């Protein structure tokens, strides 16, 4: 099973060792495609990256020195609400192994990344338009879709992406399940993101056939 998740805008700082574009699970396949993004990010205005003030200053600082910067595994780097719901650190070792094998992140900087991949601190929203490169979603779509479509020939793919990140992916014709979370009283927001992390966590121990019976605090999964 492959579980597609969006990245997190919130990121933990710090780390050790050095990052390069060939790092991680998809590094060999996507290193060449990552390099133009790495080059374009420092040239892109903070407003295009959807940040202002102190966050903009931090984004500029980390984006200008991506290659060679300290890394944390994606499971520790991403600190947003989806990843709070997943709560990787509280999983037992066997579940952590499954999560690292199963969860694939669709990223504006990396294209694709595994949950155990070493990641730098960075700012690259998938809906940003980069200087000289254009919209990241449009840039990545022809580069990452073939990899995911090939994976779908071997494994079931469960798409838990946001609409922005879905725009960067062309689904496979078979073994591809697009999942939206629904609630009778709540629309989107913090609660939906946390529930998405909880669903990803639940999927580590359950088969796709059981997905329609998942429930969490009034949230259910609608499968397409």
Contact indicator for 3, 160 with CB cutoff of 8 Å: yes
User: Tokens 């407003």 appear where?
Assistant: 47
Tokens for 119, please give them.
């990641």
Query: Mean pLDDT over residues 25-46, rounded?
Result: 96
Question: What pLDDT is recorded for position 52?
Answer: 87
What average pLDDT does the segment 32-42 reach? 97
Segment among 30-34, 48-52, 80-84, 123-127 with least mean pLDDT: 48-52
Lowest mean pLDDT among 16-25, 104-113, 204-213: 204-213
Q: Give the pairing of strands 103-107 and 2-5.
A: parallel
The upper half-sphere exposure of residue 79, i.e. CA atoms within 13 Å in the direction of its Cβ, equals 9
Cross-strand pairs, 158? 3, 177
Question: Which residues lie below 8 Å from residue 222, measured CB to CB, with a gap of 6+?
Answer: 179, 180, 181, 182
- In the chain, what percentage of residues exceed pLDDT 90? 89
Give CA–CA dist 106/166, Å, rounded.
9
* Mean pLDDT of all residues in 68-79: 97
Q: What's the pLDDT score for residue 195?
A: 96
Q: How far is CA 112 from CA 28, 144, 218, in A?
A: 11, 7, 31
Sign of the C-alpha dihedral, residues 82, 192, 148, 30? negative
């Amino acid at each position: 099973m492959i579980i597609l998740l969006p990245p997190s805008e919130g990121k933990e700082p710090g780390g050790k060792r050095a990052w390069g574009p060939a790092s991680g699970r998809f590094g060999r396949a996507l290193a060449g495609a990552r390099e133009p993004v790495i080059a374009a990010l420092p040239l892109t205005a903070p407003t295009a990256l959807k940040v202002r003030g102190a966050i903009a200053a931090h984004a500029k600082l980390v984006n200008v020195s991506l290659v060679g910067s300290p890394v944390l595994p994606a499971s520790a780097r991403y600190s947003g609400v989806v990843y709070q719901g997943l709560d990787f650190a509280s999983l037992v070792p066997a579940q952590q192994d499954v999560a690292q094998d199963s969860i694939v992140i669709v990223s504006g900087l990396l294209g694709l990344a595994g949950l155990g991949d070493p990641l730098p601190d960075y700012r690259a929203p998938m809906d940003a338009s980069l200087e000289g490169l254009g919209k990241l979603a449009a840039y990545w779509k022809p580069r990452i879709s073939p990899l995911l479509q090939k994976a779908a020939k071997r494994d079931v793919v469960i798409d838990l992406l946001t609409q922005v990140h879905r725009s960067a992916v062309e689904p496979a014709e078979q073994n591809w399940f697009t999942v939206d979370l629904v609630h009778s009283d709540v629309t989107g927001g913090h609660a939906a993101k946390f529930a998405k992390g909880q669903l990803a966590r639940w999927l580590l121990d359950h088969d796709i056939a059981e997905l329609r019976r998942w429930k969490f605090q009034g949230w259910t999964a609608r499968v397409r």
